[in-house]
Amino acid sequence: MNQKQPPHQLSRRGFLRLGGQALLLSMIAGGGLMSGGPPQRVIAAPAAAPALQLPQINVRLVATDGFVSLPGRRRGADNGVYAFGFRPVLPSETFATLEALVSKYKGFTQWPSPILAVPKNIDLYLTMSNLGFVGRPDLDDAHTIHWHGFRNPNAVFDGVPEVSVSVPPSRNFPYFYRTRAEGTYMYHCHFEDVEHVQMGMDGVVYIQALNGRTYDSDSGVTAFHREFTLLLNEVWTTPHDNLIGVQETNWSDYKANYWVINGRSYPDTVVRDQDLAAYEGGDFSYGDPDLGFTQPVSSLIQLNAGETGLLRFANLGYEIHSMQLLGPRMTVVGHDATFLGPNIYQTSSVYIGPGEARDVLVTAPAYSASIPGGVDGAGSYNVYWLHNRNAHRLVNGNLPGLGGMVTQIRVYPPGTLPPQVAPNSTF
């Protein structure tokens, strides 16, 4: 995210200010004309009026297509899964020309869309640029960004194309959000949304509480040390293959054959960022067929013993998912970006319907060498499995063995892991 104020950003603020002044001036003029007397005096806004400007953050996402990688469907073997998605641009490119972004990013999708971790009480300007498709140049699909569950007072920025604006190829659109209510949300393209969401145009957005915990009015019970976004989806590879093969899909035949967390299915879910090159043999050059490039958001949960992790679950698949943790109890503190207050509950299985979100706290038990675990680059750990309770969703297509919607919580001796600086980063 770019918190700097480039010169033409100031001109945008100036434009808004000018717009406000122009409105005020026309009201004065109108009052004067209607009464026939002198212009009315301008009445100052009351001290309690909402601020006209809040601290501002600028973000830019590009929408394009490309290929992602699943077990048995590796992108590097020219057998990847065709997908659409939103990819972030570098902060230095936030105000780049569309042509520059097309030449660099077109055809390089990622899944899920980048995690948007947004402070509360800021103004977010999110510019989305539709770069068009490389794999299907015959399609002129538009895209939108819809923040699902977010209380958006203006339909123009809500991304539902039937009631607002969609963004055709070679066009930009600046979305505006004022972040008033903390919690876990999700965002997705709303243009032909059954297709575009299945194709990968979705991600997690969350609003950070001012107190550094999960919710501001929580009496201290939603504190955490580390946080992880876990976006649940299923993949039905048939429409992906049909799209790149220029064939139609009957969506009422929907029958998923992969189940993913953050776009990855096991064992990709438990690969540390630091091990990706060795895992797939890539070199991390731009466009390299690595998970780190196509599916860069880790699904692995790492905690020091005694630490509390916040798991921000969101489900943008089309099936209800029940995620079970074998080990410590989970404390559910939020549903759909709403603090549960006295209705906080403990459970070993969290049910999450399509379009729903859950804020779940897990406190890591003490480390013990006698508990099952392993050793990775961070050190020795105990392992607790977090998995879909439906065993049919613990597979990868027709491959044998464990796969699908399963990951690990790794618990290390106290002090092993340094403090977290970004959600989902691994050590």
Binding residues for Cu ion (CB under 5 A) = 143, 189, 191, 196, 201
Least Cβ distance, residue 426 to Cu ion (angstroms): 30
CA distance 398 to 249: 21
CA of 92: how far to CAs of 23, 60, 88, 89, in Å? 34, 10, 11, 8
Residue 358 φ/ψ, nearest 5 degrees: -135, 135
Least Cβ distance, residue 246 to Cu ion (angstroms): 18
Give the H/E segment covering residue 203: strand 202-208
CA distance 378 to 415: 11
Least Cβ distance, residue 196 to Cu ion (angstroms): 4
The sheet carrying 56-68 orders its strands as 81-88, 56-68, 123-130, 171-178
Q: Which of 105, 337, 310, 295 lies closest to 205, judged by CA?
A: 337
Q: Nearer to Cu ion by C-beta: 133 or 381?
A: 133
Q: Nearer to Cu ion by C-beta: 197 or 232?
A: 197
From the CB of residue 176, how many other CB atoms can be counted at a distance below 10 Å?
12
- C-beta separation of 330 from 358 below 8 A: no
Q: Nearer to Cu ion by C-beta: 130 or 179?
A: 130
Q: Nearer to Cu ion by C-beta: 133 or 191?
A: 191
Least Cβ distance, residue 216 to Cu ion (angstroms): 33
DSSP per residue, 156-178: GGS--TTTS--B-TTEEEEEEEE
Least Cβ distance, residue 64 to Cu ion (angstroms): 10
Least Cβ distance, residue 348 to Cu ion (angstroms): 37
Q: Which of 161, 156, 163 lies closest to 143, judged by CA?
A: 161
Q: Nearer to Cu ion by C-beta: 143 or 213?
A: 143
CA of 253: how far to CAs of 81, 95, 191, 317, in Å? 19, 42, 20, 15
Q: Which two tokens stand for residue 83?
A: 């997908």
Q: Nearer to Cu ion by C-beta: 189 or 205?
A: 189
Least Cβ distance, residue 318 to Cu ion (angstroms): 16
CA of 141: how far to CAs of 105, 135, 408, 414, in Å? 17, 12, 38, 51
Q: Nearer to Cu ion by C-beta: 130 or 315?
A: 130
Q: Nearer to Cu ion by C-beta: 166 or 208?
A: 166
Least Cβ distance, residue 188 to Cu ion (angstroms): 8
Residue of closest CB approach to Cu ion: 189
